[in-house]
Chain A
Amino acid sequence: GQQVMQIPQYQHVQEGEDFTTYCNSSTTLSNIQWYKQRPGGHPVFLIQLVKSGEVKKQKRLTFQFGEAKKNSSLHITATQTTDVGTYFCAVVYGNKLVFGSGTILRVKS
């Protein structure tokens, strides 16, 4: 079964609009990682969150880890065409790093 639910599956935004993807787990997580995969490329590590309620920023990207460590979000402010790709969260489940199903982001210029 799926250990982590990621939503939405797909989002198409106008350039300049914001974007958010969410990951939800039924169990408490030790940490959560986020990756980005450009079309035709491979996943690239973005960040790891460890602490309850943690918020980290990378330029226009804001990552949050929920207080209960069961959910996380990635928010992009004012999307650009360079943001297109699939964003994955990854969590440890059964001692394995398991990836969410990903959110595909398309940006209309």
Chain B
Amino acid sequence: KAGVTQTPRYLIKTRGQQVTLSCSPISGHRSVSWYQQTPGQGLQFLFEYFSETQRNKGNFPGRFSGRQFSNSRSEMNVSTLELGDSALYLCASSLDSSNNSPLHFGNGTRLTVT
């Protein structure tokens, strides 16, 4: 079974631009969660999607948004990029709600904002 696939692996953007990251979950997994990982803040929860609905949202500004498609694939978008948005963005899928099911992470997208 293929694992969680995230694209692209690396991205370099400049301040003010916007970016879209993609995540394909493990086949059969209905929940997709997104996390931001930085050395200083660790793993910070962004949002969770289940059956195309956002179930939970973390404490991030409205510039961070996401969606999930009918095939469970998910995208997250960051608009008006800031230097502080530079981070590893990790997507994780699970069979059911992330509250009870183990998360399976992708390799992440490394975003650098200059």
Contact = CB atoms under 8 A, between A and B. Distances in A.
Interface of A: 30-31, 33, 35, 41-45, 48, 88, 90, 92, 94-102
A95 B56 CA distance: 7
Given A96-B45, A96-B56, A45 B102 contact: yes
Contacts of A100: 42
Provide the main secondary structure of the chain B interface.
strand
Given A33-B102, A96-B48, A43 B43 contact: yes
Interface of B: 33, 35, 42-43, 45, 48, 55-56, 58, 90, 92, 98-100, 102-108
Contacts, number: 49
Nearest to A86: B42
10 nearest A-B residue pairs (beta carbon): A45-B102, A99-B43, A42-B105, A97-B98, A92-B99, A96-B56, A101-B42, A43-B105, A96-B45, A42-B107
